[in-house]
Structure 1
Amino acid sequence: MKVEPKRRLLGFTLIELLVSMSIIALLVSLLLPAVQQTRESARRMSCLNHMRQLGLAVHNHADVQKRFPASGYLSLDSSGSVQPFFNWAVAILPYIEQNALYDQWDFSQPSLSAGNAKLSETVIPLFTCSSDITLGGRGDLSYAINGGIAWTSTVVGVPDCPIVFPSRGPIDLNGNGIKCPLNPSGDGSPSDRDLLLKTGVCFLESWKVEGTSRHHRFATITDGLSNTLLFAENVRVGYDPKNPQKTWSFADPLATSFYIPSQVCQGDSCAPGNVSLGNANGAPHGINYGINLAEGEAPWPSAFHQGGVNVVFTDGRATFLSENINGNVYYSMVTSQGLSLPAQLRDTELSPAQ
């Protein structure tokens, strides 16, 4: 009688199963960072494309209006009080296919008026970066326009005084020891107000009232459009959950623009010996140092991309800028007329191409 051999049961032993699961877990752990990196790379490119479109919109605005938009417009309400009316984001709405929103905006009323405030809650995808984890779902903004080294405000009754951050005080740009004289001619030539125009691209201006008028055209960016920044990412502008009035339309200098930190001029005086342009980027006020600060308290480029931020130049070129860029080079990219600045405010060590 022939005995059939016992069939061997096919399957995994417990040890083989555990080893297989360990190998799969290892492969997944190796693959996940690559997937996340690919997704972040896609998000970064999407943000860069948004910024490129914003740059084109500003170009179209400048072609039609024969000037760059103001970073923000201030005016008087019906009671005679100074109020924020609108900013660059509102000004370019017709050039980003948001004509319907623009047509509803009441330019005779502040942005905080009921109608304008409601419009300001609108989420405009082009204004946001998908990597920006601070987005609140209404009135969001992930990009800031180049404000140079300061904005202007009224100080002790004197209008149009250049103010810097983080000191929030007047700055002596020409280094002559005079800040905000009541009579502008008392500051010499070039005055602090004159020099402010040369440090950036877009500035706070008055709307429908006498006051500040300071802006550039293509021809006045004498450093060259390809060498001067127009936009940079900033995750600390736009909607503020602690102050819902602040949205993409708000004409607050710290909520719409990015600036060179005041630490480039020690004691807010740009006198010889006080200036270190290398401090334009670095701790504690350089690129990406504002990520963990409060909304409206970090007017420097910042993003949740690893290693830097997306930027757009005034010629429309969009690129990624390292957070470790040399401060002198970064300063040159921000200033719009570096060669016509006085010697103490001029970058003489490196050019933007280096």
Structure 2
Amino acid sequence: MGLGVRSRSALLSQSYTQIQTYDSGERNLASLPKILVIGAGASGLAFALACAHRGLKVRIIEKRPERSRIQKATGIAQSVWQQLAPYGVTASLIDRALPMKNFVFRDDGKLIANVRVPLVGNEPAAHLLPQAQLEQAMEQALFRMGVKVEYGTSFSGLAQSELHAQLILIRDAVEVENIQFDWIVGADGANSEVRSILRTPFIGRDYPEQWTVSEISTKQWPTEVQAQLFLSTSGTGLFLSHPSPGIVQGIMNAPSVGAALLAHFPDGAIQYERQFVVSLRRVQTPRVKRVWLIGDAAHTQSPVGGQGLNLAIWDGTTLGNALINGDMSVEATLSNRAKRVLFFTDFDYRMLSTKSKFIRKLRNTYWSLACRHPFLSRWFFKLISGAW
């Protein structure tokens, strides 16, 4: 099933042979907007790439001293590969990524379905790759365009008018610049300082469980499978993925996912484990005058369905291209997409964590049928691919 490595790379690249790099000679460079991105995660990098690729003046700051090495998300949607292809990111990574072909689902230890993941538009719906590797490649592509992430840089004193935004940049606890921008993009995560300063309500709720994520090294992962889901009558769900050779990541809506991983893979060695809280929240609008919010600064969602990283990158590239074209309708576009994705991930979470015998029976029957009749699950994997 699926395409060979060379043909996958060729097809993804071929789709973008008609895209032209922005010719800065088409406009007076002095008239191009001056933009600051706060936060060098996936959404901030994606926005900066879209802008720099088309000749816009963009700076990107990050308060951390260096990029995080924790892998976080592992599922990269087909649409993300397409969005990042013009910047050379896809060509640099696609041969390392593992295409999603098989997904195994068990409930209380019983095999419910071994689903062959259907192709979407003749390409895998998603690939598995550690998020840290994707972000590193994005940052390298940005550097080749002449934009360097300014690590160890924070800000204060954000103020704005109808035409400009102004703030003070801080390095090593010293105020180094008081500078004005045409646009500021807050891509600084779920605990966004930008959103807090704007006093923008973050509407929604926290899920009740304490979630945990861990990675182990193991030689016992079944090579023919890319992802496994273990559910139970208690409402606990353990999702396992295989983002790179010898590594398995586990996410669970309960404590001690590391112990659960070792129960499945006795030869495993824990690489890291951390706890986190999952929220279903979003801003009413991603824009406040001259400031935009994207990625987790604008919305947070359940990791079930694997949409957080993919929506963050979509936010960045969509907003970047819209600002280049002067399309302010992007405000509604971003908001509407977030609403749909959050609804989908919340639905997935409810299906995963349900304790209702009736709903579990319906869920398990559906996926059992989808295993025998793949057309039944095409809609689901189409959404996973990013084709909203």
Same fold (TM over 0.5): no
In terms of Rg, which structure is larger?
1
Q: Tell me the TM-score normalized by structure 1.
A: 0.26
Q: Tell me the TM-score normalized by structure 2.
A: 0.25
Q: Identify the structure with the greater strand proportion.
A: 2
